[in-house]
Amino acid sequence: MVAISNTAQPALNPHPESRAWLTSPKGELASASLAGLCLLIAWVLSLTNPDGSALELTSQALSWVALCIGLFHGGRAALDAVKAGAFDIDVLMVVGAILASYLGAVSEGALLLFLFTLAGALEALALQRTKRAVEALHKLMPTAALRLDPASGTWLPAPPESLAKGDRVRILPGELVPADATIALGSTSLDQATLTGESMPRDAHPGDEVFAGTLNVGNPIEATVTKLASQSSLQKIIDLVTQAQEQREPVQRVIDRLSQPYAIAVFATSITVFFIWWLAFGDAVKDATYTAITLLIVASPCALIISTPTATLAAISRAARGGVLFKGGQAIERLAQLRALAFDKTGTLTVGKPRVVQVHPVGWSDGQQLLAVAAGLEQHSSHPIATAIVAVAKARSVGPAAVDAVAYTAGRGIGGTIDGDEARLGSLAFTQDLIPVCFHARVRELLGTIQGRGQIAVVCAYRQMAAVFVLIDAVRPGAECLVERLHALGVRPVVMLTGDNSATAARVAESLNLDEFHAQLLPQNKVEHVQALKARITSGRRRGVGVIGDGVNDAPALAAADISIAIGSIGSDAALESADAVLLADDLAVVPWAVALARRTRFTVLANLTFALVAIVAMALAVLVGSRMGYQLPLWLGVIGHEGGTLLVVANSLWLLAFPGVPVCSCDQSHRHETAKVMVEGQPIPAGV
C-alpha cells in the first residue's frame, strides 16, 4: 500500500521539515482531503454547466489538480518500488490512473488516486494507532534517578542508563522507578497499570521487587538496583512487543510472497484482455483500453494485502492494554485454536505464597505466646512458611521472642532456646519430644484433619505447650470463574498438573471445579501428561493444547505444548523469553479473555480475506462479462468498489481495539475475604495479611 511504501525521501530537499510533514500520514491525509474537495467541486460544476463554458473548464482544471496531488503521493511510492526492482500495487494504481487520464477520464483517474491516497493515509494512521501500546511503554521509560554517592553519602541525580547493579537509589512519591530493584528501606504503593493492566496499586515492602517504569504513589523508598536499565523487565517487554508487531502470520507470509507475482499477473492479464477485446472481439481501441484499465483497478489486491496485518497489530495492541503480551501473529492463531488447557498449581493457579489461616493451641497452651516463639524462630529465615508466620505475628502486634542457638534441621524443622528452654517448630516427629504425652493424640488428630483438607500444618512446641499452625496457598484472583469461562469457550478439559501431594491438589481442584488433576509429578511426568492430552484432543492438523506455568519450573511442559503461556511473570526473564504469550498481571480472568480476543482476531482476519477475495472476483467478472454483454462498468464505480473495500477492511480490523475489557469475577472478593481471615484463639487477623 502507498502508506507503507512511501517513506523514502528525495535526495534533494530544500524544505526538509515541510516535506517530511507532507509525506507523513497526517500530511498525506490532508493532501487526500484537498484532492477530494477539488473533485467534489469539479463534479458539482460539471452538473450545472454546459460543455465549453468557463465553469466547465474550471471543473476540468480542478480534476487535473486532484490528479496531480494523487500522483505526487502515489508516484513517489511507485517510483520507489521501481527503483527497488519491485512491481507492486503502487505501480498498478499509478499506471491505471495515467492510462485513464490518457483516455480522457481525468476525473476517474483522479478519483482512483484520491481514494488510494486516502486509504493509504488512513491505513498508516490505523497502524500508528495499533502501536500506541509500545509508545506508551516508551513513555514509561524513566529519565532520571537519585543515586547514593558512597564517597560523600549524598544523593545525586543520575541518568537511569548509568545505574549499575548494587547502586542505592531513592524513589520519591510521584516518581518512576528508574530500574528493576529490591526495596531496602520503606514501604509504599506502586502503580503498575501500564505494565500489568492492574487497576489498583500494589503494596510493596522491604525485600519486594520493584520494576522500572512503575510509578511510586505512596511513600519515599530506597532500593538496591538488581538489573541494568537495558536489561529491565520494561525494556524486555518493549522489545518483545516490537518484535511481535514485526512478525507475520503464516497467511500474511503467503500473501507477501504472492503480492508481486499477483500484481504482475494482473497487469499481464489486463494487457491480454486489451488485445483480445480489440483484435478478437473487434472492440474499439478506446473501449478495449477502458475495459483493461477497469479490470486492472478492480483486480488489484489492496484489501487482500492489508487484511491480516491491520487485524494482527490491532489485537497485539488491545492485548497489551489488557495486560497480555502476544509474541506475534502465530501466537494469536495458536491461542485461537485452544481446545484443552493444563495449569501448574503452585505459583500459577495459586499465589505460591502460603498464608497462616489459623493458630490452634492445644489444651492449656497459650496461642499468643507460641506465636511469638514461632516468629522468633523464623524471623531470620526466607522460607515461605517462615515469611507467613512472621507476617501473622506482625499483624497481631506480637513481637518475636528472643531466640538463641537457632538451628535448622533439613526436612524436619527449626529449633532454638528461649530463656534456657528449648523451642521447636516443624513436623510432629521433630517437635513431639517437647509436647506433653497427653497432647500427642490431639495433635495427631488435628494434623490428620488439616492435611486431609489439603492444607499445610506445622507444629510449635515450647515449655509443655503446643500449637498447630494451619497454612494455605490461596488461589489467584480470577481463578474461581476460570473453568466456567473456559468451558463456555469450548476449552475442555481444564487440567491441573502439580508436583504437590494428592490431598492438597484435590482440595484446589475441587474448589476450582477443574475437570481433572494429576499430583506428585516430576517435570518429565508433566510432559507425559501433556503429550497424552494432545493425543486425546488432536485430530489431523488441528492442534490446541495449551500449558500455563511460571516459565521456569514448568519449562519442559511449556515446550511440549502447542501454545505456552507464562502467568504473572513481569519480573521473570525466563517467562518473557520462553513463552508464546505472557500474562503480565496476576489475575487469571485474563486467560479466557485472551482466548476470546484471539478468536475474534482470527474471525476478523478470515472475514477480511473472504470479503477481499469475493470483492475482487465479483468486480473482475462484472467488468469482463458486462463488457461482452454491452454494458461497460463505469471506471468510477470500479474505483469506489476497489478502494472502498480497502477502507472497510481497515475499519473492520480497528474494531478489535474496542474489544471489551477483562470481566470481573464476581466471586473474587468473597473468596479473598474468606482466605484472608486468620484465627488465633478465635481472634481474626486483619484481612490482607
| Lowest-pLDDT range of 162-171, 297-306, 309-318, 452-461 | 297-306
- Average pLDDT on 166-195 reads 85
- Per-residue pLDDT, 258: 65
C-alpha cell of residue 671: 473468596
User: Strands 202-204, 145-149: parallel, antiparallel or unpaired by DSSP?
Assistant: unpaired
Distance in angstroms (rounded) separating the CA atoms of residues 251 and 609: 10
Query: Nearest to residue 317, comparing CAs of 130, 140, 123, 580?
Result: 130
| DSSP three-state, residue 587 | coil
- Per-residue pLDDT, 676: 35
User: Strands 581-583, 221-225: parallel, antiparallel or unpaired by DSSP?
Assistant: unpaired
Which CATH number applies to 143-233?
A: 2.70.150.10
Q: Is 449 exposed, middle or buried (0-12, 13-18, 19+ CB in 10 A)?
A: middle
- Per-residue pLDDT, 147: 93
What pLDDT band is residue 14 in, cutting at 50, 70 and 90?
Answer: very low
Query: Nearest to residue 598, comparing CAs of 670, 519, 530, 656?
Result: 656
Tell me the residue length of the chain: 689
Element of type H or E holding 443: helix 437-452
- Average pLDDT on 15-26 reads 65
CA 593 remoteness from chain centre = 11
Q: Is 440 exposed, middle or buried (0-12, 13-18, 19+ CB in 10 A)?
A: middle
Distance in angstroms (rounded) separating the CA atoms of residues 428 and 444: 8
- Per-residue pLDDT, 6: 35
- Per-residue pLDDT, 519: 87
Tell me the CA end-to-end span of the chain in Å, nearest whole number: 57
Phi, psi of 168, deg, nearest 5: -95, 125
On whether the CB atoms of residues 678 and 392 are closer than 8 A, the answer is yes
- Per-residue pLDDT, 670: 39
Q: Which stretches within 247-365 are classed as H helix?
A: 250-275, 285-298, 302-321, 329-336
| Residue 551: CA count within 13 A, CB half-sphere | 20
Distance in angstroms (rounded) separating the CA atoms of residues 189 and 309: 39
Query: Nearest to residue 572, comparing CAs of 406, 348, 386, 392?
Result: 348
On whether the CB atoms of residues 450 and 438 are closer than 8 A, the answer is no
- pLDDT reading at 303 higher than 70: yes
Which residues in the chain are classed under CATH 2.70.150.10? 143-233
C-alpha cell of residue 215: 510509578
Beta-carbon contacts of 478 under 8 Å, excluding residues fewer than 6 positions away, are 587, 588, 589, 590, 591, 665, 668
On whether the CB atoms of residues 418 and 407 are closer than 8 A, the answer is no
- pLDDT reading at 59 higher than 50: yes
- Average pLDDT on 162-190 reads 90
- Average pLDDT on 123-150 reads 69
| Lowest-pLDDT range of 310-314, 315-319, 629-633, 662-666 | 662-666
pLDDT: which is higher, 332 or 54: 332
Query: Nearest to residue 436, comparing CAs of 419, 459, 416, 453?
Result: 459
For 394-483, strand residue ranges (E) read: 404-409, 413-418, 421-426, 456-462, 465-472
- Per-residue HEC secondary structure of 63-113 comes to HHHHHHHHHHHHHHHHHHHHHCCCCCHHHHHHHHHHHHHHCCCHHHHHHHH
Q: Is 410 exposed, middle or buried (0-12, 13-18, 19+ CB in 10 A)?
A: exposed
Query: Nearest to residue 565, comparing CAs of 273, 306, 327, 300?
Result: 327
pTM check: above 0.85: no
pLDDT: which is higher, 311 or 2: 311
- Average pLDDT on 402-410 reads 84
- pLDDT reading at 199 higher than 50: no
| Residue 573: CA count within 13 A, CB half-sphere | 7
- Average pLDDT on 140-155 reads 85
Q: Classify residue 280 by its DSSP letter.
A: I
| Lowest-pLDDT range of 30-34, 176-180, 414-418, 499-503 | 499-503
- Average pLDDT on 333-347 reads 88
Distance in angstroms (rounded) separating the CA atoms of residues 631 and 657: 42
Distance in angstroms (rounded) separating the CA atoms of residues 295 and 270: 6
Secondary structure (DSSP) of 12-25: --SSHHHHHHHTSH
Distance in angstroms (rounded) separating the CA atoms of residues 484 and 494: 10
pLDDT: which is higher, 305 or 624: 624
Domain 355-472, what architecture?
3-Layer(aba) Sandwich (3.40)
Which residues in the chain are classed under CATH 3.40.1110.10? 355-472
pLDDT: which is higher, 204 or 401: 401
- Per-residue pLDDT, 7: 34
Question: Across the chain, how many H-helices and E-strands are there?
Answer: 25, 24
What pLDDT band is residue 381 in, cutting at 50, 70 and 90?
Answer: confident
- pLDDT reading at 216 higher than 80: yes
What pLDDT band is residue 5 in, cutting at 50, 70 and 90?
Answer: very low
Which residues in the chain are classed under CATH 3.40.50.1000? 324-351+476-584
Average pLDDT, the chain: 80
Class of the domain covering 324-351+476-584? alpha beta
| Residue 509: CA count within 13 A, CB half-sphere | 22
With cell 517530511, the residue in question is 20
pLDDT: which is higher, 202 or 387: 387
- Per-residue pLDDT, 499: 76
With cell 471543473, the residue in question is 59
- pLDDT reading at 648 higher than 70: yes
CA 17 remoteness from chain centre = 36
- Per-residue pLDDT, 606: 92
Beta-carbon contacts of 613 under 8 Å, excluding residues fewer than 6 positions away, are 304
- Given 344, 473, 500, 554, the catalytic residue: 344
On whether the CB atoms of residues 185 and 221 are closer than 8 A, the answer is yes
Q: Is 344 considered catalytic here?
A: yes
Strand-pairing partners, residue 342, are 495, 547
Query: By percentage, how much of the chain surpasses pLDDT 70?
Result: 81
Cα→Cα distances 592→335, 341, 491, 554, 589, Å = 10, 11, 9, 21, 6
- Average pLDDT on 255-274 reads 81
- Per-residue pLDDT, 467: 94
C-alpha cell of residue 409: 534441621
User: Strands 516-518, 494-497: parallel, antiparallel or unpaired by DSSP?
Assistant: parallel
On whether the CB atoms of residues 230 and 251 are closer than 8 A, the answer is no
Cα→Cα distances 368→373, 502, 581, Å = 9, 32, 46
